[in-house]
Structures are given as C-alpha cells and as structure tokens.
Structure 1
Amino acid sequence: MSKLPRTAGVRGGGNDPRGAHTRGMTASDTSGAPGVDGYDAVVLAGGAARRLGGADKPGVRIGGRALLDRVLAACAGAATTVVVAEPRPTARPVVWAREEPPGGGPVAALDAGLSRTTAGYVVVLSADLPFLDQQTLRRLLGGLASSDAEGAVLTDGEGRDQTLVAAYRSAALRRELARLSDEHAGLNGLPLRRLVARLGLVRICDPVASFDCDTWDDIATARTRIREHEHVLDEWISAVKDELGIDLDVDTGVLLDLARDAAHGVARPAAPLTTFLVGYAAAQSGGGPEAVAEAARKAAALALRWADEDSAEAKPDTE
C-alpha cells in the first residue's frame, strides 16, 4: 500500500510536482505522450477486498465517484479499456473480461484483460487509485516510449514499485505471460512480481498518484484530502464533468475571474447565472475550449463595462 505524503498538495498547488489543473485533460492530450501513437488500458477490479471486510471496493465512493470510475476517467485516452471483473454500471464504456476460474489472481486477470487489447502499449491499473490522473499516465507512457525499457512503473514515497500503476510494452507482457504459463502449467495464483521480474523497467516516483485504498482508514484519508481547500475545486469540477459526460478541458481561472467580476460589478446572483449563459453560448457555437474562452471574454468585458458605469469617475455620456 502506498501512503500519502504528509505535505499538502494532492492536486492544484502546494507541493504537488504536477502543478495545477491536471484533471480534465482530453483524450488527445493523453494519447499524445512523446512517441506514443495510442494505448490500451487494463484495469483489475476483481479482488476480494479482505481488508475492507469484503466490501465492494471498486464501488466505494470518494468525492461522489466510485473508485473504479475515478480510474476510468484517468485512462479515458485509451483506445480500448478492459476491466477485469464482473460487469457493473460505469460512467464510461468499457470492455469486460474475467479470468477463468474467477479469483485466479492478478497475473491470470491481467492475461484475461490483455487478450482483449491490440495496442503496442498498455497501461495496467488497479481499481483503487483515487488520485490517479491522465497526466500521470502521460508521464508513464512518455517515460516508456523514450527509453529501451519494457515497462514504466510508478513508485511510492518509499521507493517501492507499484506494478499496478504502470505502462508496459504489450509484446513484453505477452512474452512473459507465455513463459510463466509454460513453467507453471497455468497462471492461477501467481504473484505479479513473477511476471515483471525479468522486465527492464524505468521508474517514476509519485507518492500521490500511487496512493491506493486498501483499508477504511485509507478511504477516510482520501476523502479528507480531496476536500482540502487547495484541492476541492478541481475535484468538484472533475466530478461534475464525469457525471455529465463532459470531456472538455477549459481554463477554470478564466471562469472564476468572470464569476468574480459579475458578482462584484453587477450582483452576487449574476455570477452563477452568467457562467451558465457562457456555457450555453459556447455550446450553441460548437463547443470546445476556444468557444468557452471567447464567450467568457465577452461576458467579462461586459461585466467590467457595467461596473465602470457605476463608478464615481464615470461620466454621464460614458458608454
């Protein structure tokens, strides 16, 4: 299990090396990692969750979203996303797979998932990573593509490999799966470390994205962190976009500035109404970040003109 660093800054500030507003990136942003034309994703979501008393861990909600849905949002740029588990409702479309027999362990599950993929790169993820994001996957895929390694693995703050937060060359995984199957007359019950032991790996340290939820204490920690002042807005916006099925990366600072100008220069209720109208106008003109930015620019200019008319210096004939 990975532990969160004691310093602040899970997302959007503090000591987070990834900086602000890393959530909400579009699929093209993620697949655009250096040297990567595309990738598939395999999410292992069929564990027994014994340390949670057998609870449905992928369905546990953090910030209003199931853990599985948070991971699926992070790998939204994948050409194909395979979830190895019994089918369930998810916020994003996925391909379902299951190892035979069910409960055969992570290596058998990975083999079942990998059989449904075709890309040369595959990210392999557990379903209990509340702070995983698309930027992290870009770093893993970019690190893999720019090296001769066969895998890029995230490490936690203590330097331990997190082999279920990693990107691999698919051919290398298939080779090692075949070798293990031959040596052990199957894959059931084998630990993941056997699979990656012979792979050449590059490592990227990220104590935040590697944090996983094995216990109820871990879940409580994650729920607390996303509600801290420096993270809560990004987390809320990400949750709303996921809930509404919106894949749109916009400059939230522009919208916040607009809301401030409307609230101060016009009236407090003008802030939410104005931002709603900006979104509606952007949709009417075709949508996209550029449409949002242009509508916000026009509305902000109007709010400033409105406020200027009410200032002491304004002349009667000022437009």
Structure 2
Amino acid sequence: MAPSAESPGQPAFDAVILAGGEARRLGGADKPGLTVGGRSLVEHVVTAVAGARTTIVVGPERPIPGVVFVREDPPRSGPVPALAAGLNGVTAPWVVLLAGDLPFITAPHVTALLNAAITQPPNTTADPAPPTPATQPPAAPAHPTLGETARSARSVPGDVAGPTSGNVVVAVPGNAARATSEGVVMVDDGGREQWLAGVWPTARLKRALAAYPCRSLKGLLGPLTAVRLALPGRPWFDCDTMDDLEEARMNVLNEWTVLACEELGIDPATVDRDLILDLTKEVAHGVARPAAPLTAYLLGLAQGAGTAPDDAAAKLITLAKNWGQATAETLTDS
C-alpha cells in the first residue's frame, strides 16, 4: 500500500483505529459498519486520518481501500490488546489512536491534535495564565450541525498552555516538567479524557505497552499524556447506543437542510423539516417507498406555484394514512 502524502509542516504519523468491540449497548450490532450520512462510522474515521502514512484498522476486514486490517488475539479481547495489534504495523514517529465510531471527527481535528503534540510542549506552562475571554465557549446553537461548533472548546482543570486556532490546550497537572515528546488526549465538553482520541509518540508508547500488564487503556496512556485538548465541534462524540446513532444522523440532516436551502435560495427558518419528515414517513409506510420523495417534490411544486393550501402537508399525511380505504373506493367506482 502506498503511503499517504504528508501535509507540509505536519509531523509524520500513522493511524490506529480500533473497530472491533462487542457493541453490547447496540445489541451486538456491527457498530463501525453502521452508517451516518451515507458512510459507515469507520469510514468517517478513516477519512479523518487521510494524511497518515499508514492507516491500520483493528477489526473485521471491510471494503475500504488503502487500509491495513489486523485483528487482536483473541478477537474482542479489549482495547489494550487491540492497540498492541495495531502498533505492530506502526513505523511513523507519531501514532494517532481513534475509536472506530466517531462520526464527527475530521482531518482538521486530527491536525489540531498533532500540532498540539509538537507545538505545545508541557514545559511552556511554568508561568500559566488564566483563560482569556477569547477562550471561553460561545453559546451553542439550538440545532448544532457538523460544520458548527455545537459544543465549543472550553477550558478544563489544569494549567492553561494557551489557545491555538480556537482550541484550548491544557497541560495535565503535575506534568509540566516532562519531556516534550508526550501524548495529547482529546477531552469532551465536560473535560473528560477520551482515550480513544489522541496522539502519542510511537517509541514511548511501544515501550510502555511492552511493560504494561493490565487491561486499562487509561492506565497505559495516562502516564504518557502531557496535554488535554478541547476542540470545537464534537469530534469526541461516539455512537455507543441507538440514541447516539440517531443523534448523529440528525446532525447530518441538520447540516444537509441548511446547505440545501442555501443552494435553493430558501430561508431554512421557513422549512418545517419535522412536518416534511412526517409526511415522507407516512407516504413511505402507507403508500410506497418511492412515493415519499415524489410526494415531497409535488408539494414543493405546488407551494412554488402558489396552489398549495396552508395545510397541504397535513392533508397529504391524512391521505397517506387512509390510502388503503382511498384506493378501495377508487377501484370500486363505476
């Protein structure tokens, strides 16, 4: 497999994606294979690390080009054995470690983690300053989208090393005197470390793993971590439950609605998205699946022509719910 091209100024890195868990809270479903926005969860993560020399997915093999697939021994034995299996193929000086179920992670998030690892050494925090107003989070929008900072970067306990491009970098307390070759872990909007979203120096991680007898990922990575990084958006959001998956899909729908409205010259505030979704659901279930997009299109034509009544969508929903009766009456007309 040919290595990926490296971005100018970006440190060389490989990526290890853990995508072989049991997904108990999803009823044992193939979690990394579930789709959000037309792509599987693991494909979203693979796309985010497109700049890696080598991308290694620890989990069942899938039809994703340019990716090396390996399995831990035995399969589904936990994140530490999975990390060990992935690290066997890592040769770059830095390794990006990610879960395989992060629908909102993007390449800029990965770049921010790498930049924090090489430009925010913990020994720069000897004289920490409190967060400035510029580092405080803006108010979250009512309907966050993938392109918005729904849960913006916010400061977390520790010594602030200084914001970088809107990110908040925080040195782990007690680590200020460590060498600069240390790891960076992402934190969520509550300041909790996300151990399957970070960057670590490969050589140190391999040495630590070889001497580590336990199964806790936090126990392994915690002593190697010098920086906790809060990033805009929700790159740490993972899909552990069906509610999580539905939330991720609704975020995609929010973004698509806004972008589609921009292309069509429509004010998104004038679109009753939930009503349209109810309409297409009832038509798909009560009439036929292909009738759902057709009905939405016909409604749009009628509204554009000014011939649709104010309650047009409601009338169509009622018609779809009573479709069986309506067709029976039509077929018996003489």
Q: Same fold (TM over 0.5)?
A: yes
Q: Distance in 1 between matches of 2:54 and 2:252?
A: 29
SS of aligned partner of 1:31 = coil
Aligned to 1:217: 243
Q: Per the alignment, do residues 117 and 198 of structure 1 end up closer, same or farther by CA in structure 2, a change over 3 Å counting?
A: same
Following superposition, the deviation at residue 179 of structure 1 comes to 1.3
Q: Report the secondary structure of 1:122's partner residue.
A: strand
Offset of residue 150 of structure 1? 1.2
Question: What is the TM-score normalised by the length of structure 1?
Answer: 0.59
Instruction: Please give the residue correspondences for 1:29-178 in structure 2 after superposition, counting only pairs within 5 Å.
Output: 31-32=7-8, 34=9, 36-90=10-64, 92-146=65-119, 147=121, 148-178=180-210
Query: Aligned equivalents of 1:95 and 1:116: distance in 2?
Result: 9
The residue that corresponds to 1:205 in the other structure is 230
For residues 166 and 120 of structure 1, the distance between their equivalents in structure 2, rounded to whole angstroms, comes to 14
SS at 1:138 equivalent = helix
**Corresponding residue for residue 196 of structure 1:** 221
Report Cα offsets for 1:159-205 as digits up to 9, x if no partner.
Answer: 0001111111101110110110xxx3xx6xx0201111211321111
Counterpart position of 2:326: none
Number of matched residues? 201
Q: Are the aligned partners of 1:71 and 1:128 in contact in 2 as well (CA < 8 Å)?
A: yes
1:230 CA displacement: 7.1
Q: Map of 1:170-319 to 2, 5 A cutoff?
A: 170-180=202-212, 184=213, 190-206=215-231, 208-229=234-255, 233=259
Deviation at 1:231, TM superposition (A): 7.3
1:98 deviates by 1.1
Matched residues, percent identical? Answer: 44
Query: Based on CA coordinates, which of the two structures has the bigger radius of gyration?
Result: 2
Indicate the residue corresponding to 2:319 in structure 1.
none
| Structure with more relative contact order (C-alpha pairs < 8 Å, separation 6 or more) | 1
- 8 Å contact from structure 1 (residues 68, 127) kept in 2: yes
In the TM superposition, structure 1's runs of 4+ consecutive aligned residues that sit over 6 Å from their partners are: none
Inter-CA distance 116–210: structure 2 relative to 1 (3 Å threshold):
same
Distance in 1 (alpha carbons) for counterparts of 2:90 and 2:181 = 20
Query: Over aligned residues, Cα RMSD in angstroms?
Result: 2.2
Q: Tell me how far apart the structure 2 counterparts of residues 194 and 204 of structure 1 sit (CA, whole Å).
A: 19
8 Å contact kept, 1:31–1:138? no
Q: Measure how far apart 1:227 and its partner are.
A: 1.2
Q: Distance in 1 between matches of 2:78 and 2:256?
A: 38
User: In structure 1, what is the equivalent of residue 162 of structure 2?
Assistant: none
Deviation readout 1:62-97 (Å, 9 max, x if unpaired):
01110011111111110100000121212x321111
CA–CA distance in structure 1, aligned partners of residues 182 and 11 of structure 2:
16
Are 2:200 and 2:224, in contact at CA under 8 Å, matched by a contact in 1?
A: no
Query: Match of 2:281?
Result: none
Does the CA contact (< 8 Å) of 1:149 and 1:200 recur in 2? no
Instruction: Quote the offset at 1:43 in angstroms.
Output: 0.4
**Which runs of 5 or more structure 2 residues have no equivalent in the other structure?**
122-179, 266-334
Mapped to 1, the partners of 2:188 and 2:87 lie a distance apart of 25
Seen in structure 2, the aligned counterparts of structure 1 residues 107 and 69 have a Cα distance that, compared at 3 Å, is: same
Amino acid at match of 1:193: K
Query: Contact conserved, 1:31 with 1:39, CA < 8 A, in 2?
Result: no
Q: For the structure 1 residues 231 and 115, does the alpha-carbon distance in structure 2 shift closer, same or farther, using more than 3 Å as the test?
A: farther
Q: Bigger CA drift: 94-103 or 43-52?
A: 94-103
For residues 89 and 229 of structure 1, do their structure 2 counterparts lie closer, same or farther at Cα, with a shift above 3 Å needed?
Answer: closer
Q: Name the CA distance, whole Å, in 2 between partners of 1:163 and 1:231.
A: 33
Give, in whole Å, the separation in 2 of the partners of 1:150 and 1:37.
Answer: 14
8 A Cα contact 1:49 1:55, kept in partner: yes
1:38, 1:79 within 8 Å by CA — same for their partners in 2? yes
Q: Deviations over 1:285-314 (max 9, x none)?
A: xxxxxxxxxxxxxxxxxxxxxxxxxxxxxx
